[in-house]
Every structure is written in structure tokens, then in C-alpha cells.
Amino acid sequence: MIKHALAAGAAALVAITSAQAGMPLNAWLGTYEKNTDGLHSLSITNSGGSLEISVKGECTPNPCDWGAAPAVAYADSAGGDASSNTEAITAVYDQGFATKTIVLDGRAGETLRAHIYTRFTDNSGRSDYVNHVSLKKKALIARPLPGGPIIAQPLKPFKEDCISFNPDAVSVAQKNGRWKLVQGSMWMLDAGPNKSEMDRAKTIVQHYGMNKQCFIGRPDASLEYWLTDSAAPSGGLYGEDCVNINPNGLSVKNSGSHYTIVSNGNHYAFTAPSEEEAQTVIKAIQFYGFTKSCFVGRPDPSMRYLRK
């Protein structure tokens, strides 16, 4: 597993130099905020033995959410116990145009050193590089709601597959004769010859401030949805093509070669290749409380998005 986690060549460069090296894994958990340039923040969690690192990068005007990735904790030797003596933690993020490997060294006190290895996969000719940043641990402060108890945020009941981007940097470009919605060398949507549909998609993304494109099932996604700062886009935009969905009225039907997700027992909504994936679609819709299913171009939409 370490060979995959450190494909960028990080293994040869991880050196634990802190006096606080070798802390118990629980001492690493928490949220860390920017101390030097390079990252906005990151959180380390361990739920039921599933170690994850959630990262927010530095983007303008708002931080860009890399999402959560499975993490690996390393002991000091093959016979060591990583839960009681963690020397380093790694995680890998696939951003479409590049993979980023984060290596956290042994500063598990008030500061944390993060080494970020970026390996470009888009054939752009850019050099792979490493960035070293420092973060400070955020103090845990319980802030009760006025007149009420502290309300815990629910955990996601499903694994997310998301790509973060900067909505202000999105543009419409023609590549190989097809109109696409792009950010730099990364493209997110393809409308073929229909430039007007990509212009509309750009307007929608920037109107809602969408900064994360998410999928359930790839490469042929059963559900594609977009988030604004890790929440459902909300509001409205003149001229939208949307239909209502009831997040609490969704069910799954076996349609033979696939599974159909219907709303209120009879309205076709989505399809999935397996019952498990269909149930994941329902979990995502219910978690974010999506109530509108919207389209750019029909009957074969070049963009589909959900909102409140």
C-alpha cells in the first residue's frame, strides 16, 4: 500500500525530525489551520477504524475543497504498533489533472508539517513538485446554539468521489472540435457542438458558486451532483429547467438490466447498475436535501445538477 501512497517519490524524502515524533494516533486527530502558505486547513478523523484526511487548499476567493481521502498511519518499524506510536500519515487525492500525495510528519502537537507531492497526469509538460507547509491545531470550542443544546453534524453515510475546482477560473473552450467547460487543462463537461449549452453551464456554476463536482459510480456515473462549499446549491436562476424530487420519497425498483430510482412510487428519477449503487444515490440526495433535479439541454443533457 505504501508504494501506491508514495508514488510521487515521497518515501525517500519523509524524515521525522520533530521532538514530538511517535505520538499515539489519537493525538493526531483534529482540525489544523493555516500557519504558512500552501494549505488552508485539514482535518484528521478516525471513524470506526477508517482513518481519513479532509483537505482545503488555498484558492481565490474561497478555499477549494479537495474532499476526504483514506489515510494510512505508519509505525516506526515492521513490528511496531501505528495506533500507539504513529510516525507518519499519508493520503492521496486524484484531482483529474494531477494526483497529490500528502505526507504528515511527526509533529502531532500544536503544529503539523505537511509535505505535498504533486504529480501532473494531464501531459501538460509541467514539472512535478513538492511543497512543505505548516499548520496549527485548532482548539476545540463547543458553541451551543442560542436557547438550545449543541447539535452534532451528521456523518456522511456514503463515500464521496469529488473533484474540487475554482468557479471563478471556469471557462468555455473548444477542444478537438467539441465545446467543453474547463478549468485550465481540466475539463468537466462536454456539450459537443453546442457552445450555448456550455455557456449556460458556466453561468450556472458561477451563479451558485459551485466548487465541487461529485459522482456516484464512474466512469458512467449513476448520479452527478455539484456542491457549493460542501453543501447543496440553493436558490434559483431565471430560465432553469428543473423538476421537483422528494428526497424522502425515493425508492428502488429492479428493472431487469438495471435498477431504477423513482420518486413517490411512480416518477422516474435515476438509474444505477446495481441495487447498492442505487441506494447510495438515495443516501446522497437525502444527505444534502436536494429537492430539484435540473438540466442543461434535453433530452440528452450536457449538464445535470441538483439543488435545493
- What DSSP state is assigned to residue 167? G
The grid coordinates of residue 133 equal: 507547509
Distance between CA atoms of residues 23 and 174, nearest Å: 52
Identify the residue whose cell numbers are 477549494. 64
Q: For residue range 130-156, what is the model confidence (pLDDT) as tens digits?
A: 999 888 887 655 555 566 565 555 667
Identify the residue whose cell numbers are 430510482. 261
The grid coordinates of residue 245 equal: 424530487
From-to residues of CATH 2.40.128 in the chain: 2-137
| Cα pseudo-dihedral 220, 223, 228, 231, rounded to 10 | -140
Residue scoring higher pLDDT (37 or 238) = 238
Query: Identity (one letter) of the amino acid at 97?
Result: F
Q: For residue range 244-284, what is the model confidence (pLDDT) as tens digits?
A: 888 888 899 898 889 999 887 667 778 999 999 999 999 99
Distance between CA atoms of residues 93 and 100, nearest Å: 5
- Measured at the CA of 56, the angle between CA 215 and CA 93, to 5 degrees, comes to 50
Q: What are phi and psi of 153, to 5 degrees?
A: -75, 135
Identify the residue whose cell numbers are 494531477. 98
Residues whose CB falls within 8 Å of the CB of residue 241, separated by 6 or more in sequence, listed in order: 294, 295, 296, 298
Q: For residue range 170-186, what is the model confidence (pLDDT) as tens digits?
A: 999 999 899 999 988 88
Its CATH class, for the domain covering 2-137, is: mainly beta
Alpha helix segments (H runs only) across 108-223: 195-208
Residue scoring higher pLDDT (156 or 198) = 198
pLDDT of res. 14: 39
State CA 308 to chain mean position distance. 20
Q: How confident is the model at residue 210 (pLDDT cuts 50, 70, 90)?
A: very high
Q: Are 40 and 32 in contact (CB under 8 A)?
A: no
pLDDT of res. 172: 95
Question: How far is the CA of 142 from the CAs of 33, 145, 230, in angstroms?
Answer: 17, 10, 22
- What DSSP state is assigned to residue 152? P
Mean pLDDT of the chain: 83
| C-alpha gyration radius of the chain | 21
